[in-house]
A = this chain, B = another copy of it.
Amino acid sequence: MLVVKVGGSLGIDYDAVCRDLASLIQSGRRAILVHGGSAETNALSEKLGKPPRMVTSVSGYESRYTDRETLTIFEMVYCGKMNKGIVERFQKLGVNAVGLSGMDGRIWQGRRKSTITIVENGKRRVLRDDYTGRIESVNLDLLNLLLDHGYTPVLTPPAVSREGEAINVDGDRAVAVLGAALGVDKLVILSNIPGLLRDLEDETSLIREIPLEEADAFMQFAQGRMKKKLLGAVEAVQQGVREVVFGDARLPDPISKALAGKGTVIRRRTGDGDL
């Protein structure tokens, strides 16, 4: 079982991601693809006169301020443009994909944060009307039902609260919860950089391996969105995923390369896995 997340940043080659995953599926792998859509959401938000607003929580994590209007734009991009664009690529490649959000069938159920406390210009502020939250459970039954019948799930936020509201959740942490719930061996997280870099300006400064036990020490290199990626990866390994690999979605065969160890690998030092 293979779980792959492809981000939504600029420069990602979705054709290459889908082609690579299609050939892995056609050689017999079961797979779920999770995707983002942040760059396209930003672009559409700008066009619609509702510029994106990124906020930083008191614990230092960045997220998209998601009021109802933003949530609708988010759903149009993530569940419409991105999700169906990927499903169409797979259908052309002969993979019978089924595109779903975390709301569908309550695949990703979580809790909406009633308020979030952010830091803005050095001051704390409490935001309400924010539809964000954190996943607490995964509907594996539905995912396995689809996989058992030959369908490939293509999954994207939002998740759903217990009360049935759409909630924006971080895709990297969502895929970590999914990978852990499925008990997968490897989780591949692709974005538009080669992996975790010591120096963001220098792609040759790639960190090849992060032992789980030393993850805290590497947090200093994780800037912006990378902080949540690393946090999600650490959570996934803590919860039983053997390896998380951060790979580069701008390359040909990005998944196969990540599976071969190209990128940043997070795993227990005591692990006996092959790379």
Q: Which residues of A contact B (CB under 8 A)?
A: 44, 47-48, 72, 75-81, 83-85, 87-88, 90-94, 96-101, 103-106, 141-142, 145, 149, 151, 158, 160, 163-166
Contacts and interface: CB of A to CB of B under 8 A. Distances in A.
A-B pairs, 10 with minimum CB distance: A80-B80, A92-B164, A91-B164, A76-B80, A76-B76, A98-B104, A79-B80, A75-B84, A75-B80, A98-B105
Contact of A151 (B72, B78, B96, B105): B105
Nearest to A139: B96
A93 B163 CA distance: 9
B106 A164 contact: no
A99 B91 contact: no
A115 to B, nearest CB: 21
Contacts of A164: 88, 90-94
B103 A88 contact: yes
A165 B84 CA distance: 11
A77 B77 CA distance: 9
13 contacts: A47-B48, A75-B81, A79-B84, A80-B80, A84-B103, A88-B166, A90-B164, A91-B106, A96-B105, A98-B104, A98-B105, A99-B104, A141-B149
A30 B106 CA distance: 19
Given A48-B47, A92-B165, A165-B92, A103 B87 contact: yes
Given A80-B77, A99-B104, A92 B142 contact: no
Contacts of A160: 88, 91
Most buried by B among A78, A87, A104, A165: A104
Contact of A163 (B92, B100, B141): B92
Contacts of A104: 87, 97-100
Contacts of A44: 76
A76 B87 contact: no
A76 B83 CA distance: 10
A80 B96 CA distance: 20
Nearest to A107: B98
Most buried by B among A85, A87, A101, A145: A87
A149 B145 contact: yes
Contacts of A75: 80-81, 84-85
A44 B81 CA distance: 13
